Amino acid sequence: MSRDENKLLIDVKDLRVSFDTYAGEVQAVRGVSFYVNKGEALAIVGESGCGKSVTAQSTMQLIPMPPGRIKEGSVMFNGKDLTKFTDKQMESVRGSEISMIFQDPMTSLNPTMKVGKQIMEGLIKHQKMSKQDAKQKAIEMLDVVGIPNPEKRVEQYPHEFSGGMRQRAMIAIALACNPKLLIADEPTTALDVTIQAQILDLMKDLQKDFDTAIILITHDLGVVADMAQRIVVMYAGVVIESGTLDEIFYDGQHPYTWGLLKSVPRLDTQGKQKLYPIEGTPPDLFSPPKGCPFAARCEYAMPICREEMPEKTHLSKDHFVKCWLQHEMAPDVENPIKKGRE
């Protein structure tokens, strides 16, 4: 699904977020733009610390402020700029129109409150339901997310649930008010693969049945291939490439994207596959380099890469990349992921 003003749900423009620490300013997000259409699943991928969570949390003003601050940018949601919202206005959006699920369900479930009550809260607050109706809906939601004996389970506390069930309960809370956007930050990273498969299946069903849009943050490219329609690749606080699933997996153009795809083994390859790690580590976000942040680890780096951040090059309606290799003066480089497929 490419950008379509009629279907546009959230449109983030030039978001810049920093944290003021004793050691100085951490420039966690340095000009990030992306959009999500209604009912679409967008994946944000990238190495640990590249700013995925901060980006997602900033859209909902969920970063701790201070030390965090949104320095610049806009987050247009249904035509309104969320960065201009007061705390109170934000409260009414959170959990009703936009919901978030996290990697560790225990950090967002309240351990001292019955699971059913936690689902009911939003329904009573946002949808002005009666207690009785809300309870009925809570039972229904637990059933939707595949928890057996929901009538009993609503009366239990989170610690009485297994890890997979807690994740399901969190999804039930997140989806109770039928949000238009679900932000899922590593929703399955802490889970076993057989449970992960259950949760991903559930999320896909819900996306279909309720037309919920999803921003999926993950480091697992397999999960991305299974779930997303479009991908944003982040590196050191900036978006370095974005496109549809196929454009990134089969025609990715950024050397970092290549690195991500070539460093993971696949279950379905015959014989021994060689792994190509990305040598080195990401730059320090206290003083990000002035050129392309990936230059220091890039085997194709040219002098210009260390001097200046490349502009966007548009390759299709959805696909763009920021890399000096796109410049007409740059040498021709064989695309290693394309080659591998032929």
Partner 1 sequence: MSEKKLEGRKNIIEVNNLKKHFKVGKGQILKAVDGVTFSIREGETLGLVGESGCGKSTTGRAMIRLYEATEGEVIFDGMNIQRLNRKELKNFTKQAQMIFQDPYASLNPRMTVGDIIGEGMDIHGLRKGKERMAKIYELLEIVGLNREHASRFPHEFSGGQRQRIGIARALSVEPKFIVCDEPISALDVSIQAQVVNLLEELQEEMGLTYLFIAHDLSMVKHISDRIAVMYLGAVMELTTSKVLYDEPLHPYTQALLSAIPIPDPEVERSRNRIILEGDVPSPINPPEGCKFQKRCKYVKDICREKAPELREVKPEHFVACHIVK
The contact set with partner 1 (CB under 8 A) reads 47-48, 162-165, 192-198, 200-201, 219-226, 245-246, 249-250, 259-261, 263-268, 270-279, 281
Size of residue set near Mg ion by CB under 5 A: 1
Question: Is the CB of 102 or the CB of 258 nearer to ligand ATP?
Answer: 102
Task: Write down the least CB distance from residue 18 to ligand ATP, Å.
Answer: 9
Name which of 69 and 219 has its Cβ closer to partner 1.
Answer: 219
CB of 335 to ligand ATP, least distance (A): 26
Compute the radius of gyration of the chain from its Cα atoms. Answer: 21
Binding site for ligand ATP (CB under 6 A): 19, 21, 26, 28, 46, 48-54, 64, 67-68, 219, 285
Residue ranges of alpha helices (H) inside 176-323 are 193-210, 221-227, 245-251, 255-262, 303-307
Q: Which is nearer to Mg ion, 100 or 144 (CB)?
A: 100
Residue 53 or 244 having the CB closest to Mg ion: 53
Q: Interface with Mg ion includes 53 (CB under 5 A)?
A: yes
Q: How many CB atoms lie within 10 A of CB 6?
A: 6
| Cβ–Cβ under 8 Å, residues 76 and 15 | no
Tell the burial category of 124 from Cβ atoms under 10 Å away from its Cβ (0-12, 13-18, 19+).
middle
Q: Which does 28 bind (CB under 5 to 8 A by kind): Mg ion, ligand ATP, partner 1, none?
A: ligand ATP
Choice between 67 and 265, CB closer to partner 1: 265
Q: How many CB atoms lie within 10 A of CB 38?
A: 17
The nearer residue to ligand ATP, 98 or 238, going by C-beta atoms, is 238
84: partner contacted, choices ligand ATP, Mg ion, partner 1, none (Cβ within 5-8 A by kind):
none
Residue 222 beta carbon to ligand ATP: minimum distance, rounded to whole angstroms: 16
- The smaller minimum CB distance to partner 1, of residues 249 and 300, is found at 249
- DSSP designation for 157: -
We find the least distance from the C-beta atom of residue 30 to Mg ion, in angstroms, to be 16
With tokens 């309720």, the residue in question is 210
55 forms part of the interface with Mg ion (CB under 5 A): no
Pairwise CA distance, residues 195 & 172, whole Å: 16
Q: Could you say which DSSP state residue 327 is in?
A: S
Minimum separation from the CB atom of position 76 to partner 1 (A): 29
CB of 48 to ligand ATP, least distance (A): 3
- In the complex, the smallest distance separating the C-beta of residue 19 from Mg ion, rounded to whole angstroms, is 14
Q: What does 104 interact with, of ligand ATP, Mg ion, partner 1, none (CB < 5 to 8 A by kind)?
A: none
Half-sphere exposure of 315 (CA within 13 A, CB side): 18
Pick from 164, 162, 160, 114: which is nearest to 139 by CA?
114
Strand partners, 235: 238
Q: In the complex, what is the shortest distance from the CB of residue 67 to ligand ATP, in angstroms, rounded to a whole number? A: 5
Mention every residue, 6+ apart, whose C-beta is less than 8 A from residue 156: 114, 115
Choose from Mg ion, ligand ATP, partner 1, none: what does 123 bind? Cβ within 5-8 Å by kind. none
Sheet of 238-244, strand order: 98-101, 181-185, 213-217, 41-45, 230-235, 238-244, 320-321, 313-314
Judged by the rule CB under 5 A, the positions of this chain that interact with Mg ion are: 53
